[in-house]
Structure 1
Amino acid sequence: MSKTAQSVWENCLEFIKDNIQPQAYKTWFEPIVAVKFADNALSIQVPSKFFYEWLEEHYVKILKVALTKQLGENAKLVYIIKMENTYGNKQPFTEKIPSSNRTAVKAQDVDIPLNNKSPELRNPFIIPGIRNVKIESQLNPNYNFENFLEGDSNRLARSAGLAVAAKPGGTSFNPLLIFGGVGLGKTHLAHAIGVDIKDKYPEKTVLYISAEKFTQQYIDSVKKNNRNDFIHFYQIIDILIIDDVQFLSGKSGTQDVFFHIFNHLHQNGKQVILTSDKAPVDMQDIEQRLLSRFKWGLSAELQSPDFETRVSILKNKLYRDGVEMPEEIIEYVAKHIKSNIRELEGAIISLIAQSSFNKKEITTELAKQVVEKFVKNTKREVSIDYIQKIVSDYFQMDIDTLQSKTRKRHIVQARQLAMFFAKKFTKASLASIGSQIGKRDHATVLHACKTVDNLSSTDKQFRKYVEDLTKKLSV
């Protein structure tokens, strides 16, 4: 009887099932589909690249033993990745991982043909005919709009990004400055805009670069005495994306050269996209003439996602990775990890790892253990909600009273302290702080911070408030 892909794989599964825990088998082997068997090579389809990498890292030995038992020492395994890009998007694509003439079940022998280019920027300053030189965009195609899920926390920034991608340099959002705290998706959104522009306008030159690398290139150009070539190179870019622009703080030479590059691009209808962990109004040691240009277009803030958005993000992550998880577990993780998206996705990966390594089923109890450890081992960024709770508890009032319009002195001071600590302990903009603490504007927050500074140096009792609250918030 001739062997088929299905029969070979079923025999392999019988062996695997007997040698691993039921939960691991259900998570990592049940979703696999046998696709083809030819020339002693079995092709299996897995749900995602994450899924493939997990198998290769954790189950390569048992796969090799199982396949060798069925097909002998010359057995080969070929992975086919079939991944539906986004939760709810039903258009799959397939990526084949070839085994060549090697035994592909050896993890170190498998090569995945990635589209990512060298991270080193090709800077063709000294090449004649610079306009004809192809400049690699440095974009990551995995960061796209399809997996950047929309919610109340990012709707303005995402919508502006889509508008810029549809008409780069042709909207009033130029520059587009995306700002917000760590792990909220600034870099993802910046890449997504660039990827979409490259898709719609392949003839346009798009370049993504970090402000740190831009600075280093400028320093190198000064050392090599080719500053003009450096400027000329950046002036031919159609869409310039600079990540973490706050890194330019205090670097007057780099700010000066960026000022000239920015002016040239803007005047010629080119698009500039910037990301920062601060709003322009909160940036320090950036020249005023540069800050004024940052404000020419739109500054869009990314805030911490709400519960519904966090659930959607987790479902999307699991869907793309081809891993199933009970709804109540997803909601538990989303409820307890609120600070940023990076931590949220990290917690889910930790949960999958704990389940596989410790041979435990994914339960609410296991999720609780993982989340507690994860939160404890992750540097905590104090939230504005948490600050308001600590301040209101300290002054024995509820949060509604703290946020109220009353002008009673002790309530006003408590509110001003909450604003002061929100500016000190978070990366939120003044406007965002004011919005979350009683719907005030950024000028009120600025006034509150100055008042707290003044009273701390003149009022002994008030200074004690500041010291006590600092200790509580620094724990």
Structure 2
Amino acid sequence: AHDVNHSEMDVAAQVRSALVDTISSERYELWIAEDTQWSWIDGALRIDFKNDFTCQLAKRMLSKDISAAVQGVMGCAVDVYFDVRPKSKTSPANELQSAVVDGIRHSEPRSVSGHSTVARVDGQRPAKRPLPQRLQPSQQLQPSPRQQNELWEQFVQGPSNQLAWTTANLIVSEPGRLSPVVLHGPNGCGKSLLAASVAERLRTVKRMRRVVHMSSEQFTNDFMEGLRGGGLPMFRRKYRDVEALILDDIQFFVGKKSTIGELKHTLDNLLKAGKQVVLTADRSIGDLQALGSDVVGRLRSGMVTPIFPLDEGTRVEVLTRLCTAAGLHLGPDIVSQIASRAAGDGRVLSGIAKRLMAVSSLHAQALDWEQCWNAVYDLVQSTQPVVRIADIERAVCNMFGLQPESLQSANKTRSVSQPRMLAMFLSRKYTPAAYKEIGEYFGKRRHSTVISAEKTVSGWLSEDTQLQAGRGLSIRDAIRRVEAELQVG
């Protein structure tokens, strides 16, 4: 019998840890099945998979990342082998089901330390089987344990986030000039990804060593722990003795009076020192009044940047990248059709890509439109909010600063008529209401008035007209803001 050498265990564990640091635990869990066995044998890394499906999938998606992780740990090029363990007698149906389940992991992320480090059979060291899937030297990367621009390049730019993207570039270019920066928008719009990208760029491009990127929940937990254990000085050094502080989801602080007070003093300390502060929230500053006038005032003094739900073009690009990363080969028309029907939530698009990957594994041929749509229909439909004409009326009035009853009044001034036409246009787009019903709602107007409003707004869109009612706001921006409040578009 062979006792596993601790150095062998350590190398395999270090490689897994380096791989997770590089690609994220979520991507690791997606491509590496739970029962995958890692072993360090005779100066080479062997990865044993349960079946050929999961082996080929991981080899195609992660071979370069694994090679880079090994080289980062060992400091030199090392052979990496992908292999399949001897199969037990299993029915073809069970084997196929096992392959799909192993290939697509939907469980919560686990610690990589839960995996077996060295492959064993009855306590014996694995036999030296032929190693058919050796990575060729040309596939092995130069040392790069973490791609410096990985997150930055993941962020897909588009009309829905252009201002935020520009702001992020300014932060990286001149840290501290725009501070504090508040990125706010609905779930799945990309604000957390952008914040993480900024943190990464500050570390790699600006060579900042003290960049703290935390959730507001972790900030709160650390503060409460400091209060209980007398560790406030250590807590304050952690969050104030930094070059940049990035906090996600500051709406978490609402209702936590003592934590809000500590946050205020932390902001004061950093802003006076000219440090960069970036905060994210799922709502606008106007909806964060519960943080108190002191904190809200400090936030307003900086760069407050909205991020809207992903527009259609951005959704198409995001879904295209996700499908490509998953090894899916779908026609651009199919991707475009699915993206046009999905909500502007990046997480939903990620779920759609994973569902399509699972379904694709069951078919030898590329998926057609009907197969794709049947696979993801429930995901798309479940994310579409039910919008009423009254919801559109309220959102339009809020944006233009009008009284709720204004759009139903007889007022024909442009300050009211333009928002009314916009509300009619959006009512046709997002509700099943007929022209007659929409006209009745907005002051008992004729259906021909609604038809005319729809044509007028379409004309505005083709020319990107500036609305007089919106103090020079373009029609596209006006629609985008209303859609953001309705969480559609």
TM-score, normalising length from structure 1? 0.57
Deviation at 1:80, TM superposition (A): 8.3
| Residues 277-308 of structure 1: CA deviation (Å, up to 9, x unaligned) | 01111114211100001111111111112221
Deviation at 1:361, TM superposition (A): 3.8
Query: In the alignment, is residue 362 of structure 1 matched against residue 367 of structure 2?
Result: yes
Deviation at 1:336, TM superposition (A): 1.0
Query: What are the within-5 Å matches in structure 2 for residues 369-448 of structure 1?
Result: 369-376=374-381, 378=382, 380-382=384-386, 387-388=391-392, 400=421, 402=423, 411=442, 439=478
In the alignment, residue 411 of structure 1 is paired with which amino acid?
Answer: F
- Cα separation, 1, equivalents of 2:175 and 2:337: 40
User: Contact 2:270–2:277 at 8 Å: present in 1 too?
Assistant: yes
- Cα separation, 2, equivalents of 1:353 and 1:263: 50
Deviation at 1:341, TM superposition (A): 1.3
Which secondary structure state, in structure 1, belongs to the residue aligned with residue 304 of structure 2?
strand
Deviation at 1:371, TM superposition (A): 2.5
- Cα separation, 1, equivalents of 2:340 and 2:326: 21
Partner residue in 2 for 1:222: 227
- Cα separation, 1, equivalents of 2:368 and 2:476: 37
In the alignment, residue 442 of structure 2 is paired with which amino acid?
Answer: I
Partner residue in 2 for 1:194: 199
Deviation at 1:384, TM superposition (A): 8.9
Deviation at 1:103, TM superposition (A): 7.2
Where structure 2 has 5 or more consecutive residues not aligned to the other structure, the ranges are 1-22, 37-47, 72-77, 86-98, 100-108, 113-145, 397-407, 409-418, 426-438, 446-469
Partner residue in 2 for 1:105: 84
Which secondary structure state, in structure 2, belongs to the residue aligned with residue 291 of structure 1?
helix
User: Contact 2:185–2:282 at 8 Å: present in 1 too?
Assistant: yes
Deviation at 1:263, TM superposition (A): 0.4
Deviation at 1:227, TM superposition (A): 2.1
Partner residue in 2 for 1:313: 318
Partner residue in 1 for 2:68: 95
In the alignment, residue 334 of structure 2 is paired with which amino acid?
Answer: I
In the alignment, residue 281 of structure 1 is paired with which amino acid?
Answer: G
Relative to structure 1, is the Cα distance of residues 176 and 268 closer, same or farther in structure 2, using a 3 angstrom cutoff? same
- Cα separation, 2, equivalents of 1:220 and 1:140: 34
In the alignment, residue 310 of structure 1 is paired with which amino acid?
Answer: R
Relative to structure 1, is the Cα distance of residues 261 and 102 closer, same or farther in structure 2, using a 3 angstrom cutoff? same
In the alignment, residue 105 of structure 1 is paired with which amino acid?
Answer: V
- Cα separation, 2, equivalents of 1:391 and 1:261: 35
Deviation at 1:148, TM superposition (A): 0.5
- Cα separation, 1, equivalents of 2:29 and 2:229: 46
Q: Which deviates more from structure 2 when the two are superposed, residues 140-149 or residues 273-282? A: 140-149
Deviation at 1:373, TM superposition (A): 1.9
User: Contact 2:329–2:366 at 8 Å: present in 1 too?
Assistant: no
Within the candidate set 151, 159, 182, 1:152 is matched to 159
TM-score, normalising length from structure 2? 0.56
Which secondary structure state, in structure 1, belongs to the residue aligned with residue 153 of structure 2?
coil
Partner residue in 2 for 1:339: 344
| Residues 146-183 of structure 1: CA deviation (Å, up to 9, x unaligned) | 111110000000110111012111x2x21110000011
Relative to structure 1, is the Cα distance of residues 205 and 439 closer, same or farther in structure 2, using a 3 angstrom cutoff? same
Partner residue in 2 for 1:168: 175
Count of residue pairs brought into register by the alignment = 326
- Cα separation, 2, equivalents of 1:56 and 1:271: 40
| Residues 414-437 of structure 1: CA deviation (Å, up to 9, x unaligned) | 9xxxxxxxxxxxxxxxx9xx9989
In the alignment, residue 254 of structure 2 is paired with which amino acid?
Answer: S
Within the candidate set 265, 268, 292, 2:270 is matched to 265
In the alignment, residue 243 of structure 1 is paired with which amino acid?
Answer: D
Query: What are the within-5 Å matches in structure 2 for residues 36-185 of structure 1?
Result: 54=31, 60-63=49-52, 81=62, 95=68, 104-105=83-84, 144-169=151-176, 171=177, 173-185=178-190
- Cα separation, 2, equivalents of 1:341 and 1:64: 28
Partner residue in 2 for 1:133: none
Partner residue in 2 for 1:297: 302
Within the candidate set 320, 323, 330, 2:328 is matched to 323
- Cα separation, 1, equivalents of 2:70 and 2:389: 47
Deviation at 1:324, TM superposition (A): 2.2
In the alignment, residue 68 of structure 2 is paired with which amino acid?
Answer: E
Which secondary structure state, in structure 2, belongs to the residue aligned with residue 299 of structure 1?
strand
Query: In the alignment, is residue 210 of structure 1 matched against residue 231 of structure 2?
Result: no
Which secondary structure state, in structure 2, belongs to the residue aligned with residue 177 of structure 1?
strand
- Cα separation, 2, equivalents of 1:149 and 1:289: 34
Which secondary structure state, in structure 1, belongs to the residue aligned with residue 230 of structure 2?
coil
Which secondary structure state, in structure 1, belongs to the residue aligned with residue 157 of structure 2?
coil
Which secondary structure state, in structure 2, belongs to the residue aligned with residue 275 of structure 1?
strand
Within the candidate set 231, 256, 279, 1:274 is matched to 279
Deviation at 1:350, TM superposition (A): 0.6
Where structure 1 has 5 or more consecutive residues not aligned to the other structure, the ranges are 1-47, 68-76, 84-91, 108-115, 120-138, 415-430, 450-472
In the alignment, residue 226 of structure 1 is paired with which amino acid?
Answer: G
Relative to structure 1, is the Cα distance of residues 261 and 362 closer, same or farther in structure 2, using a 3 angstrom cutoff? same
Q: Which deviates more from structure 2 when the two are superposed, residues 204-213 or residues 317-326? A: 317-326
Cα RMSD of the aligned pairs, angstroms, is 4.9
Deviation at 1:333, TM superposition (A): 1.1
In the alignment, residue 300 of structure 2 is paired with which amino acid?
Answer: K
Partner residue in 1 for 2:126: none
User: Contact 2:216–2:247 at 8 Å: present in 1 too?
Assistant: yes
Deviation at 1:315, TM superposition (A): 1.9
Deviation at 1:195, TM superposition (A): 0.5
